[in-house]
Amino acid sequence: MIGDGMGLAHSYAAYLYNGDSLVMFTMPYTAFAITSCADRKVTDSGAGGTAIATGHKTNYGCIGMDDKGNARISLLEIAKRAGKSTAMVCTSSITHATPASFVAHVSDRDLQDSIALAYLSGNVDVVLGGGRDNFMPDKRKDGLNVADSLKEKGYAIVTDMNELDEVKSDRIVGLFAENHLEPFAKRGNFMEKSMTKALDVVSDNEEGFFMMVEGSKIDMESHDNRYERMMDELLDFDACVRIALDFARKDGHTLVVVVADHETGGLALKSKDKGTECEWTSDDHTAIPVPVYAYGPGSEQFRGVIQNTDIFWKIYNLMIK
Ligand SMILES: [Zn+2]
């Protein structure tokens, strides 16, 4: 589970805002991850996502390849090859940098049309987010109908949240916005509904599953220095952490890891009266290491100050035995 741009100050601000309560703060093991990428101290979501997805530090803006340009296999692709089911849920376009890092291998995160084609690999069973424009012939530069090609491969294409419950297919591509989803205040419980549906589908597989859930807009609101909207996004993401932990507690075999790809906004919590006041020190990403929270089998391995790439290796070693 990736809170995009979610630094410790973001989470603690949401904890205070939420009446001294945050689900991720109840997870028993914590670490700090260094987020620098191959060519910069301050990373982006492409290189940050790629480090977590593939275990390789890469250059700023790259997706699913190392700093020499070699394609690197992701946790999601590894899980699929091992016979597991796979899913992704995000509030951004599903071709945006973080989800892209788990399915695509391109030198530039802005190659959104190319990233959409990566879903034809069939490595993702269920993906729910935005980004419809990159799948439609009238919006793509090459005029390809990627949505139809996905249907031919057996995917149900869903564009209306009201239809999601009724879909019986175990392969679903949900495209619920032309680009990114609306802010939390407008989209409502999209994240919780999508995560519940995705879990329901992929947890049927006796070989297990790999799921990536991204609170994509924590980062976007932080770029815009919008304090309350950022906290809405973070608490929406935290509600998904609750769903994951409830599932993992019942299941007993599921590892839940909550990470961030980098911090966004240089958020500071200053003293005001007897409480705190938020102050953004940047409208961009920063270099500060980010917290990692873990629960479940192997979670005790997530401790100390680690590299973002170590998150890949720990999950890989626990998932593939
Ligand atoms: Zn990011």
State whether residue 91 is helix, strand or coil. Answer: strand
First-to-last CA distance in the chain? 22
What separation in Å is there between the alpha carbon of 4 and the centre of ligand 1? Answer: 4
What separation in Å is there between the alpha carbon of 164 and the centre of ligand 1? Answer: 27
Reference 163, options 139, 134, 128; nearest CA is 128
pLDDT of residue 17: 95
What separation in Å is there between the alpha carbon of 109 and the centre of ligand 1? Answer: 12
What separation in Å is there between the alpha carbon of 119 and the centre of ligand 1? Answer: 21
What separation in Å is there between the alpha carbon of 44 and the centre of ligand 1? Answer: 6
CA pair distance 10, 6, nearest whole angstrom: 6
Please identify which of the residues 11, 21, 36, 45 carries the catalytic annotation. 45
Kindly provide the residue ranges of all beta strands, DSSP E only, lying in 227-303, ordered along the sequence.
Answer: 256-258, 263-264, 267-272, 275-280, 285-286, 290-295
pLDDT of residue 24: 98
CA pair distance 241, 227, nearest whole angstrom: 21
What separation in Å is there between the alpha carbon of 42 and the centre of ligand 1? Answer: 11
- What are the percentages of helix, strand and coil residues in the chain, rounded to 5? 40, 20, 40
pLDDT of residue 129: 98
How far is residue 313 from each of residues 65, 162, 190, 290, measured CA to CA in Å? 16, 38, 31, 17
pLDDT of residue 289: 98
CA pair distance 149, 157, nearest whole angstrom: 10
Is 45 considered catalytic here?
A: yes
What separation in Å is there between the alpha carbon of 261 and the centre of ligand 1? Answer: 5
What separation in Å is there between the alpha carbon of 49 and the centre of ligand 1? Answer: 7
In this structure, which CATH number among 3.30.360.10, 3.40.720.10, 3.40.50.720, 3.20.20.60 belongs to the domain 8-29+74-260? 3.40.720.10
Q: Are 125 and 85 in contact (CB under 8 A)?
A: yes
Angle between the N-to-C axes of helices 227-251 and 8-17, in degrees from 0 to 180, rounded to the nearest 10: 90
CA pair distance 191, 129, nearest whole angstrom: 9
CA pair distance 147, 136, nearest whole angstrom: 6
CA pair distance 309, 101, nearest whole angstrom: 13
Domain boundaries, the chain: 8-29+74-260
pLDDT of residue 214: 98
pLDDT values of the chain reduced to their tens digit, one per residue, 321 residues: 999 999 999 999 999 999 999 999 999 999 999 999 999 999 999 999 999 999 999 999 999 999 999 999 999 999 999 999 999 999 999 999 999 999 999 999 999 999 999 999 999 999 999 999 999 999 999 999 999 999 999 999 999 999 999 999 999 999 999 999 999 999 999 999 999 999 999 999 999 999 999 999 999 999 999 999 999 999 999 999 999 999 999 999 999 999 999 999 999 999 999 999 999 999 999 999 999 999 999 999 999 999 999 999 999 999 997
How far is residue 105 from each of residues 35, 46, 74, 111, 142, measured CA to CA in Å? 20, 11, 10, 10, 19
What six digits make up the tokens of 240?
A: 């998904």
Reference 11, options 306, 291, 296, 300; nearest CA is 291
- The verdict on pTM exceeding 0.95 is yes
pLDDT of residue 297: 97
CA pair distance 264, 151, nearest whole angstrom: 37
